[in-house]
Structure 1
Amino acid sequence: METERPKVGRKRSEAARKAILRASLELLRERGYGKVTVDAIAERAGVGKQTMYRWWRSKADVVLEALTEEARVAIVDRDSNDLESDLGAFLKATFRLLNPPRALGPVMSGLMAEAQLDPAFGARFGDYIAWRRKSLGAIFQRAAERNELSADADIELLVDMVFGAMWYRLLLDRPISPKFATSLARTATRAARAQKS
């Protein structure tokens, strides 16, 4: 999944891009989403503000790209041949990204709010969400192929259940712990297997 970017200006310097994404994550952890500005990111990264606006449309787009890069590294899908184990590993990796020290849970909430206010950004954030849904859906799909659940199981509904529980806790600032990951994986596995006739 790639976030959409403006197609204007010079080719991006990879070193500058990494400095900007690193600076944005540092500032987000220090100040929170609402208090971070493009000016502050540019200053921390040692680049001009105009450089950032050549490459991204808004602060939200910079943050979304930083979040995407973090997720690519932090959330690695694994196939252990067991639905509950795979779900637990996926959720624990996801929750580690949201909790300290990475502490990107409040950032996700900020991006969700931004997506409600800016339809153009909302579409790009929707692409990120669709990418994460596809990754989770693949875990259920593999289970269906192993006959752990019925071949016609409602995978979209199962994904809604898992991510719905995560987002509910995230938006209400309730704990998203490893214990919750284990419990949610167990509950989702039972629900998935209950669909098997």
Structure 2
Amino acid sequence: MTGRPRSAAARAAILRAALAELGERGYAALTVEGIAARAGAGKQTIYRWWPSKADVVLDALLETAAERIAVPDEGSLRADLDAFLAATFSQSGQHGVLTGLMAQSVLDPAFAQAFRERFLASRRAALRGLLERARARGEVDAGADLDLLVDVVYGTLWYRMLVGHAPLDAEAGRRLAALVTDAARPGRPG
């Protein structure tokens, strides 16, 4: 990136402002002007560092995702999945943000690549690591397709979030954890 280097304090203020604006207005009504005003920064500063509001939101989301949804180690696959999915599904305040970012990724191929590589891949890797740890404990069949199991979890999350046909709540998380645990267990036919 050319130009003046980013100020860590200004960057942090902009990301905090983006999250605050999201909380008050939602993704659809979020504007770079609103973020700039709340952060006490110039709109041109934001555009110098981020090409769009979606990119600002992506960075803000990345700053908070790891701390809000940790990878648990409860000692068993089922307990780990219960905890991971409870934390993931409880982020209901983020649903509008996530659906907005997904919509932006459909419209903007460059943003889609950044969203996949920077956010989706990290969340997938966290869940896959949980499954790999369970495999090392002997709870997951050696031949289980871990990527497909990750797809089952995130496919359910995204489908319910985008379509809204069924709740994305703690009960859904428990049922999904049971389904994945059963599908992954050693010696399962098929």
The TM-score with structure 2 as length reference comes to: 0.93
Query: Partner residue of 1:3?
Result: none
Structure 2 residue aligned with 1:39 = 33
Q: Take 1:106 and 1:80, find their aligned partners in 2: how far apart are those partners? A: 30
Alignment match, 2:160:
169
Contact 1:95-1:181 at 8 Å conserved across structures: yes
| Alpha-carbon distance between aligned partners in 2 of 1:196 and 1:140, rounded to the nearest angstrom | 16
1:189 aligned partner, one-letter code:
T
Aligned residues: 187
**Matched residue SS, 2:72:** coil
- How far off is 1:16 after superposition? 1.2
Could you say which residue in structure 2 is the equivalent of 1:48?
42
| Structure 2: 5+ residue stretches without partners | none
> In structure 2, how many angstroms separate the alpha carbons of the residues matched to 1:17 and 1:95?
28
State the TM-score, normalized to the length of structure 1.
Answer: 0.90
Instruction: Please say if 1:65 is aligned against 2:56.
Output: no
Does the CA contact (< 8 Å) of 1:149 and 1:195 recur in 2?
no
Report the Cα distance in structure 1 between the residues aligned to 2:187 and 2:54, rounded to whole angstroms: 39
Shift of 1:194: 6.3
Deviates more, 1:121-130 or 1:177-186: 177-186
Q: Give 2:122's aligned residue.
A: 131
1:150 corresponds to 2:141: yes
Give the match's secondary structure for 1:60. Answer: helix
User: Which of 95, 98, 113 is the aligned partner of 1:105?
Assistant: 95
Partners of 1:147 and 1:158 in 2: how far apart?
Answer: 16
Distance 2:45 2:187 in 1: 52
